[in-house]
Amino acid sequence: MLVDSHCHLDRLKLGDRSLAQAIEAAAERGVSHLLCIAISSQNVEAVLSIAGQYPQVSASVGAHPLDVEEGAITREQLLALTRRPHVVAVGETGLDYYYTEDTKAIQRESFAMHLDVAGQAGLPVVVHTRDARKDTLDLIEQYGRHDSAGVLHCFTEDVAMARSAMDMGYYISLSGIVTFRNADALREVAEYVPMDRLLVETDSPYLAPVPFRGKPNEPQYVREVAEFLADLKRLSFEAFAQKTTENFYRLFNRAERTV
């Protein structure tokens, strides 16, 4: 009864295990739905093919802000991709000024286009944002649609940004980072976000939660993220899992219920 709202199943580092085994391991730990995220024109078909193989996997389509040059997707391509089977969201898109300032303009252009196409397709948006608070919020306000808003995934910004995004209908998704020892500011955000706006994710294969920090992450570890946050929110694990799962299906309302 848990959902991993953001994972990169085509990039997991599984050693000699298969993807089917990783998805089964997740199911055994109560993770019964996974949203597999595309990052560029180069991996979108792999993501769609995985979603086609497993009933509990949904897909998003889009180009990550750090892939907008080599992995760019045109407006026409994106619109066509939104109509493919198993697609429940547009993204990940957004702005990331942490790694590079060089591509700011092209990132903004791509983000605006993704927001616009998502509105046209009636799909929610999976937004990646880092060190770009004002521009992210401005573009959502300008090009986003409140009735098919989206999620700020792997959220690492502050309470003020979370509040502004929620005011525009957005959800906040937390990853294993919230379990890290130095993440007090993020735990403050976690306490602030109301239970009807919170999602959980792994962002696997990156950012494994404590006690797996530094190891390759995989969807089953969303359980550790959820257990940690349930404690923080002073809820039972079951109540926390149920709330965040309801949130997922409310936002991604085209996802097939496999929980």
Q: Which of residues 187-226 bind Zn ion (CB under 5 A)?
A: 203
Does 128 engage in binding with Zn ion (CB under 5 A)? yes
Query: Which of 114, 128 has the CB closer to Zn ion?
Result: 128
Q: What is the DSSP letter of 195?
A: G
Residue 17 phi, psi (nearest 5)? -90, 155
Give least dist CB 49 to Zn ion, A: 18
Site string for Zn ion, 75-104 (x = CB under 5 A): ------------------------------
Which residues does 98 contact at the CB level (< 8 Å), separation at least 6?
Answer: 130, 131
Query: Which of 91, 230 has the CB closer to Zn ion?
Result: 91
247 is written with which tokens? 């949130």
Give least dist CB 37 to Zn ion, A: 5
Strands 125-130 vs 150-152: parallel, antiparallel or unpaired: parallel
Give least dist CB 239 to Zn ion, A: 27
Which of 55, 31, 54 shows the shortest CA–CA distance to 202?
Answer: 31
64 is in an annotated binding site: no
Distance CA 81, CA 68 (A): 16
Which of 45, 221, 203 shows the shortest CA–CA distance to 126?
Answer: 203
C-alpha pair distances (Å), 44 with each of 18, 37, 68, 115, 251: 20, 8, 13, 18, 21
> For tokens 């880092």, what's the residue?
130
Give least dist CB 92 to Zn ion, A: 5
Does 114 engage in binding with Zn ion (CB under 5 A)? no
Q: Which of residues 33-72 bind Zn ion (CB under 5 A)?
A: 37
Distance CA 143, CA 162 (A): 18
Query: Which of 63, 117 has the CB closer to Zn ion?
Result: 63
Give least dist CB 203 to Zn ion, A: 5
Q: Which residue is nearest to Zn ion (CB)?
A: 128
Give least dist CB 91 to Zn ion, A: 9
Q: Are 216 and 208 in contact (CB under 8 A)?
A: yes
6 is in an annotated binding site: yes
Distance CA 136, CA 126 (A): 12
User: How many chain residues bind Zn ion (CB under 5 A)?
Assistant: 3
86 is in an annotated binding site: no
Sequence ranges of the binding site: 6, 8, 92, 128, 153, 203
Contact residues: Zn ion, CB under 5 A: 37, 128, 203
Sequence ranges of the binding site for a divalent metal cation: 6, 8, 92, 128, 153, 203
